[in-house]
Amino acid sequence: MTTAVQPYRVTPARVLRSEWHKLWTLRSTWINLIATGLLTLGMGVGISAAYDGTGEGGLDTVVFVLLGTQFATINLAVLGILATAGEYSTGQIRATMTAVPRRLPVLWSKAAVLTAVAFALCLCTNLLTFPLAQAFLSDTDQSAALGDPGVLRGLAGNAAALTLLAVMALGLGAVARSVPIATGVYIGLVMILPEVLRMLPYAVVDDAIQYFPAQALQSATAAQSDSGAASPAAALLALALWATASLTAAAATLRHRDV
């Protein structure tokens, strides 16, 4: 070894390393990720095995096979919320912010670690789930191959969309500083608000709802775009904006509020 010993100092790479270490040294992380993967895989294979070839004709094949990722929208969001709000409920945040008093590198590192882990997990799970599920679907209207138009894009788009949703939840956690409140806001935004807004008799609202998190996730997942829905690219862009807005609010909160 010829490299000199670096003096102790905080660098972005080191904060990233610290957050990576923190994520993997909690049992809840392992349970969460394993459950997320197994639920997607199990649901996909289970639904496909039980599918009798009729009745679901309207559903896009990638959306159908990845129905189990409904759990991932909650699980990975909780993982993101625990990474930020969880530190406030345990008091860990005081140790974290004493080590990195500039604060923002912690937020970026948490978001980066979550992005890497969530995307890798979702992409691998999706790539595994699709062929396994298809083994049961060969003679049905849901039959498709990985090479068919839009399939790979849908599987990857779903992974990217789920990751962006988790990052959005991480930002909500940093703003709310409470796991139950952040989880409630997330579920309200993703699952309840669009259904309520849909009741309004304005066409412009219906258009806007296509860019809400859950609807954008659906559009990013589908191999074939619905006529009324957003294009996959537009859906992912919308999700990226949701995540950015959430992280921006988180950064402002972190900078200006007392720990």
Partner 1 sequence: MITAQELTKRYGDRTVVTDLSFTVRPGTVTGFLGPNGAGKSTTMRMILGLDAPTRGHATVGGRSYAAHPAPLTEVGALLEARSVHPGRTAYHHLRALAHTHGIPRTRVDHVLGVTGLTEVAHRRVKGFSLGMGQRLGIAAALLGDPATVILDEPVNGLDPEGVLWIRTLLKSLAAEGRTVLVSSHLMSEMALTADHLVIIGRGRLLADTTVTDFVRHCGAGTVKVVTPDAADLVRHLSAPGVTVTTDAPGSLTVRGTDAEHIGRTAAAHGIPLFELTPNTASLEEAFMDLTHDAVEYTATLEGAAA
Site residues for partner 1 per CB under 8 A: 6-11, 14-15, 17-19, 21-22, 25-28, 86-87, 90-102, 258-259
Provide, rounded to whole angstroms, the least separation between the CB of residue 183 and partner 1. Answer: 18
**Rg from Cα positions in the chain:** 20
Provide, rounded to whole angstroms, the least separation between the CB of residue 83 and partner 1. Answer: 11
**Dihedral over Cα of 86, 88, 90, 92: its sign:** positive
Provide, rounded to whole angstroms, the least separation between the CB of residue 21 and partner 1. Answer: 5
Provide, rounded to whole angstroms, the least separation between the CB of residue 16 and partner 1. Answer: 9
Distances 159 to 96, 133, 135, 178, 258 between C-alpha atoms, Å: 30, 17, 22, 26, 35
Q: Which is nearer to partner 1, 139 or 258 (CB)?
A: 258
DSSP string, 137-156: -TTSTT---TTSTTHHHHHH
Q: Which is nearer to partner 1, 93 or 167 (CB)?
A: 93
Both structure tokens of 180: 């139950």
Q: Which is nearer to partner 1, 19 or 60 (CB)?
A: 19
Q: Which is nearer to partner 1, 15 or 144 (CB)?
A: 15
Instruction: Compute the C-alpha angle 192/195/199, nearest 5°.
Output: 140
Provide, rounded to whole angstroms, the least separation between the CB of residue 162 and partner 1. Answer: 24
Q: Which of 11, 218, 247 is nearest to 114 (CA)?
A: 247
Q: Which is nearer to partner 1, 92 or 224 (CB)?
A: 92
